[in-house]
């Protein structure tokens, strides 16, 4: 298996490349529009064919690169099936493995940050890896104060789906804002300030309700744009319009 962790600085988003080297097939989990050209160059440099993009949820803090990458490569767009958007080629459901070559990812329905959020579990011969999107972050978790968020649902998702994984499972989050790259289920169960140390659901809900976070600066164009797999809406900022015109010139 080929694995690569990529980072977009403005939204502090991690994109994950997973590929089957024998078949030369690759996917990108949570690609970002601004770094679509970088991702394509990485694929070219590694001699890989992008077969699909795989989003964990409809993002509120950036535009997904799914549509732009499909236009450039002909790859499929995969989203949680609950989104029910016409642009989706593959609807993701828990219990239905998602394949890239001979590699299987197992979707885990983890609502709470949004009502359709999915994490993706990869069980390799050496290590279990879980791509947690915005549900579980390093020493944190996703917000629950907008976009169908629900603190109780997120607590249940993390405890029932993620904290039930083996302690040694590596946690690869959708974002990190402190220069960290990877965690583990054991670490998050032990020291996550919002969830660790056996915090009760009531304690977690109180913490989440008291965060008083600022309004997401990209949400007004990111959510409607991502409901169309990364199509740029009319209210997209001038700084992104060049990326919105992203096309294959050669």
Is 35 a residue whose pLDDT tops 80? yes
Please report whether residue 240 resides in a domain.
Answer: no
Please report whether residue 247 resides in a domain.
Answer: no
* Entry field: residues in the chain: 250
* pLDDT computed for residue 70 by the predictor: 98
* Three-class secondary structure of residue 103 per DSSP: strand
3-class DSSP string for 41-68: HHHHHHCCEEEEEECCCCCCCCCECHHH
- Give the predicted TM-score (pTM) of the model: 0.96
Write the CATH number for 25: 3.60.15.10
- Please provide residue 146's backbone torsions phi and psi, each rounded to the nearest 5 degrees: -160, 170
Neighbours of 11 (CB within 10 A): 21
Please report whether residue 103 resides in a domain.
Answer: yes
Task: Write out pLDDT tens, residues 163-188.
Answer: 999 999 999 999 999 999 999 999 99
Domain count across the chain: 1
Query: Which residue segment(s) compose the domain that 92 sits in?
Result: 2-212+220-232
Please report whether residue 121 resides in a domain.
Answer: yes
- Structure token pair of residue 208: 């989440």
Task: Write out pLDDT tens, residues 98-133.
Answer: 999 999 999 999 999 999 999 999 999 899 999 999
* pLDDT computed for residue 250 by the predictor: 32
pLDDT band at 237 (very low <50, low <70, confident <90, very high): confident
């Amino acid at each position: 298996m080929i694995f690569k962790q990529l980072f977009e600085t403005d939204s502090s988003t991690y994109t994950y490349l997973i590929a089957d080297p024998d078949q030369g097939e690759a996917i990108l989990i949570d690609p970002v529009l601004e770094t679509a050209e970088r991702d394509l160059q990485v694929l070219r440099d590694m001699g890989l064919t992008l077969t699909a993009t795989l989003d964990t949820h409809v993002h509120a803090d950036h535009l997904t690169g799914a549509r732009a990458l499909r236009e450039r490569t002909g790859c499929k767009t995969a989203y949680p099936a609950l989104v029910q958007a016409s642009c989706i080629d593959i609807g993701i459901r828990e219990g239905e493995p998602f394949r890239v070559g001979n590699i299987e990812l197992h979707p885990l329905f983890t609502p709470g940050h949004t009502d359709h959020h999915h994490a993706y579990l990869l069980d390799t011969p050496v290590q279990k890896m879980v791509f947690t999107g915005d549900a579980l972050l390093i020493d944190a978790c996703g917000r629950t104060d907008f976009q169908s968020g629900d603190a109780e649902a997120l607590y249940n998702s993390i405890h029932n789906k993620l904290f039930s994984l083996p302690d040694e499972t590596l946690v690869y989050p959708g974002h990190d804002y402190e220069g960290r790259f990877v965690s583990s289920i054991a670490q998050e169960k032990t020291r996550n300030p919002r969830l660790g140390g056996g915090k009760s659901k009531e304690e977690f809900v109180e913490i989440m309700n008291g965060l008083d976070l600022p309004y997401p600066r990209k949400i007004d164009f990111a959510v409607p744009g991502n409901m169309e797999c990364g199509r740029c809406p009319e209210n997209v900022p001038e700084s992104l319009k060049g990326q919105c015109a992203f096309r294959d010139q050669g």
